[in-house]
Amino acid sequence: MNKLFSNGCSFLTTRPKDGVDTFVSNELANSYNSELTNLAMGGRGNARISVSTKVWFEQNGSTNTFAVIGWSSQHRNDYVTNDGWKAGRIEGTDLTWRTWKTLDNVTFVDKQRGWDIENNATISFLDHVFDLQNYFYRRQIPYVMYNALPNTIINGSIDSKTIYDALDMKRFFEPKSSHYEYVLDKKLIVSPNDPHPSTEGHKQWSQMIKEYIDVNNLRSI
């Protein structure tokens, strides 16, 4: 594998204003001596990750490419815009995206009869994971996934357990934790007011993922 593709949110991007010029998938690409293509965008959610990943592979093919997906928060809700927001950032696509956060719109949510915020978020997240895993399987693309931000991957519903049981959890690193929680716990953040990973926070997490990839031989199908 001489190519590495990655997608996610700001936890898979640099942060120059804080002196952070690397990120998890960049560290992995360097470790594997691979050419990196990174579609991560700060503030975006999981619908954009899923759609843009599939579009990219359909346009560019998957030969010798390993995919790294760092899932964003399940409470971020992406939508396609008609205002060209940050257009041109990804070659070969003209869709632009914005995102609204569930907890920033509680008044709206409360007006929707019976909206179960937690169950809705969990089942939506599971569906994104299941869908992208099935796509990777269909296209024979080797990959690893992890939570960049916290997500509930299984709750008490029969439905969530059914989908969870159908997932390939060997290809999901630390499903009950996240990069966000790790760097907070280890105090590997850029500042007390900003929980984004420091350079060391990216390096440590990427090293753990690399060990997981290698032990489980995930760079092959």
Q: Could you state, in order of their start, the residue ranges of all structural domains in the chain?
A: 3-215
Residue 156 has a pLDDT of: 84
CA-based R_g, the chain, Å: 17
**Is the backbone of residue 151 left (phi > 0), alpha (psi -120 to 50) or beta?**
beta
Angle ∠(164,168,174) on CA atoms, nearest 5: 80
**Per-residue pLDDT tens digits of the chain, which is 221 residues long:** 799 999 999 999 999 999 999 999 999 999 999 999 999 999 999 999 999 999 999 999 999 999 999 999 999 999 999 999 999 889 899 999 999 999 999 999 999 999 999 999 999 999 999 999 999 999 999 999 999 999 999 888 999 999 999 999 999 999 999 999 999 999 999 999 999 999 999 999 999 999 999 999 999 98
Closest residue by Cα to residue 219 from 78, 29, 20: 29
Residue 190 has a pLDDT of: 97
**Dihedral (Cα; 109, 103, 96, 135), 10-degree rounding:** -90
Q: What is the pLDDT of residues 84-101, one digit of tens each?
A: 999 988 989 999 999 999
**How many residues are recorded in the chain?**
221
Distance CA 145, CA 72 (A): 11
Q: For tokens 């090293």, name the residue.
A: 207
Q: pTM for this structure? A: 0.96
Residue 221 has a pLDDT of: 87
Q: Are 38 and 6 a contacting pair, CB within 8 Å?
A: yes
Q: Looking at domain 3-215, which of 3.30.720, 3.10.450, 3.40.50, 3.40.190 is its CATH number?
A: 3.40.50
Residue 164 has a pLDDT of: 96
Residue 155 has a pLDDT of: 86
Residue 35 has a pLDDT of: 98
